[in-house]
Amino acid sequence: MGSNVPPVDAVGPSHAADLRAARAERTAPAHGEVERSAAASLHSRGGRIEIGGRVAQFSYDEAAGRVVVAILSDGGEPREIVRQIPAEEYLAFVARFREMLGVLFDDLA
């Protein structure tokens, strides 16, 4: 079981830090990637889960970078949104806030 590969710490502190950072980049998903992937997976199956007559509909709001869950009413079509998490007002606030940050940092550059 003799391996010719030295342990990470044996190659020097600077190089070891570079190796750890490279390993973390390969294994850590990008910000929002997991949420986007989960929402896309649900969307490909209709984006809905039925729970006791009500329906939970999942989507991804790109502007806010958040998964959105809408609880739809029981009964006939068209179903109405009973509750949305996060609320529409929150999503609008986050989108506007991100836009303002972009303007701020564009002006600073």
Could you say which DSSP state residue 82 is in? E
The pLDDT value recorded for residue 3 is 53
The pLDDT of residue 27 is 59
**Terminal C-alpha separation, the chain:** 54
> Is residue 91 within 8 Å of 60, Cβ to Cβ?
no
The larger pLDDT score, comparing residue 22 to residue 106, is at 106
**pLDDT score for 90:** 94
Higher pLDDT, residue 48 or 14 = 48
pLDDT tops 60 at residue 21:
yes
Handedness of CA 44, 39, 62, 90 (dihedral sign): positive
Angle of CA points 101, 65, 60, to nearest 5°: 150
State the pTM of this model.
0.55
Report pLDDT for 109: 57
Domain spans of the chain, in order of start: 48-109
SS3 51: strand
pLDDT at 78 over 90: no
List the beta bridge partners of residue 70.
57, 84
